[in-house]
Amino acid sequence: MSKFLIVGLGNIGAEYAHTRHNIGFDVVDALVAKHEAVFRTDRLADVAEAKLKGKSMVIIKPSTYMNLSGKAVKYWMEKEKIPVEQVFIILDELALPIEKSRIRGAGSDGGHNGLKSIQEQLGTSAYPRLRFGIGNNYPKGRQVDYVLGKWNPEEIPLIVRKIQQTIPIIESFVLAGLTNTMNHFNNVEYKL
């Protein structure tokens, strides 16, 4: 059976729940709920498992905090014997507007500490990822407050919808592969 590691990036702790930086957690929470799976606390992460048409998804939320996400990714890849091309990272992206997401098979960390940690631990920047646009509507010098802040009330309906519409992207990655998923979903604009 083909196995995939689906990783939602975020920070543990109530103060980080449902912030922009934790969108990866929110997406995998929705994926796990859809597949009626349950997270359990395990080594370096909360872990859930779900089946999708004969494929197996190991879904994790690293409990290492964002800056050490790579430790959890590497550990679960090795434990479950999952190759790097069958890993899918979901993260927040300042450089994209809220209406967009971008799927890539490789690339720089773009200043994202979660990706930086993954790249250091894996020794490569060639791993599939979905950058979930969070916009960059903050005053100069307030980037950290923005990223660690909660969504504005008027953004929430779109974000809720976009989280739901991200689930088919993850499922497409598992079932149809990276190239087909990029071709199908990279130019989608999310609207209410």
- Asked if 101 contacts 133 with a C-beta cutoff of 8 angstroms, the reply is yes
* Amino acid, res. 112: H
162-179 pLDDT, tens digit per residue, is 999 999 999 999 999 999
In-domain check, residue 46 = yes
In-domain check, residue 116 = yes
Read off the tokens for 64: 């290492």
In-domain check, residue 192 = no
In whole angstroms, what is the distance from residue 17 CA to residue 21 CA?
9
Closest of 46, 186, 48 to residue 130, by C-alpha: 186
Q: Catalytic site residues?
A: 21
Tens of pLDDT, residue by residue, the chain (192 residues): 799 999 999 999 999 999 999 999 999 999 999 999 999 999 999 999 999 999 999 999 999 999 999 999 999 999 999 999 999 999 999 999 999 999 999 999 999 999 999 999 999 999 999 999 999 999 999 999 999 999 999 999 999 999 999 999 999 999 999 999 999 999 999 998
| DSSP single-letter state for residue 4 | E
In whole angstroms, what is the distance from residue 23 CA to residue 75 CA?
22
In-domain check, residue 190 = no
In-domain check, residue 161 = yes
What's 40's domain CATH number?
3.40.50.1470
H or E, element range at 129: strand 129-133
In-domain check, residue 126 = yes
Query: How many domains does the chain contain in total?
Result: 1
Residue span of the structural domain in which 30 resides? 3-185
In-domain check, residue 42 = yes
